[in-house]
Amino acid sequence: MKNITVIGAGTMGNGIAHTFAQFGYKVNLVDLSQESLERGIATITKNLDRMLAKEKISEYDKTSTLNNITTYTQLEEGAKTADLVVEAASENENIKLDIFKTLDKVCPENCILSTNTSSIPITKIAAVTQRPDRVIGMHFMNPVPIMKLVEIIRGYNTSNETNDKVVAMAKNLKKVPTEVNDYPGFVANRILMPMINEAIETLYTGVAGVEEIDTVMKLGMAHPMGPLQLADFI
Q: Which residues are catalytic?
A: 118, 139, 151, 189
Q: Please count the other Cβ atoms lying within 10 Å of the Cβ belonging to residue 125.
A: 26
* Euclidean distance between CA atoms 142 and 197, whole angstroms: 20
Q: Which residue in 52, 61, 50, 54 sits closest to 21, CA to CA?
A: 61
Q: In the chain, which ranges are E strands? A: 3-7, 26-30, 69-72, 84-87, 112-115, 135-140, 149-154, 176-181
Q: Which residue in 110, 117, 141, 11 sits closest to 99, CA to CA?
A: 117
